[in-house]
Amino acid sequence: MNRPDKAVLVALLPCLVIFGGWKWLGPETQDLVPHDTRSLLFPSFMRSELLGLVAGFGTTFAALPDLIAMLRRRSSAGMNPRMAAIMGAFQILWVYYGLLIGSRPVVIWNVIAVLVNFVSVAAYFYFVRREKSQP
């Protein structure tokens, strides 16, 4: 087995054990399954909500570098407004879903993502209009 295959195996094995819930080891290992409990630092949050907040941070701000680059170069070049509009529409559905299941991380991060996508689309149309008006 070569080095990359070993690295994948080393990374994949703990994931299988964690997400598999130890069930394949037998009923005596059920004590090893993590249970969602209140956070020690923030008792009003469950551990899963804190994990969701951290995970949501990364996915929400993934589109931010493109927005910042567009604002710095003051040009719409390289920006696809349809992609941002489609993402924004589905993020609105995620906000609704988060409200239905009562998940604060899903609601919070998707509201922020909708705002980032709205600013991206608005900046795109602003720069397109400005570029067309310049000779």
Q: Which two tokens stand for residue 113?
A: 């993502």
22 and 46 in a single domain? The answer is no
111 and 63 in a single domain? The answer is yes
pLDDT over threshold 60, residue 63: yes
46 and 100 in a single domain? The answer is yes
pLDDT over threshold 70, residue 65: yes
Tell me the average pLDDT across 81-92: 83
Number of domains in the chain: 2
The alpha carbons of the chain give a radius of gyration, in whole angstroms, of 21
Pure H helices in 27-80: 47-60, 64-73
39 and 85 in a single domain? The answer is yes
22 and 44 in a single domain? The answer is no
pTM: 0.59
Tell me the average pLDDT across 52-78: 80
CATH of residue 120: 1.20.1280.290
CA 40 to chain CA centroid, nearest Å = 24
**pLDDT given at position 2:** 62
60 and 92 in a single domain? The answer is yes
Give the domain range for residue 105. Answer: 35-133
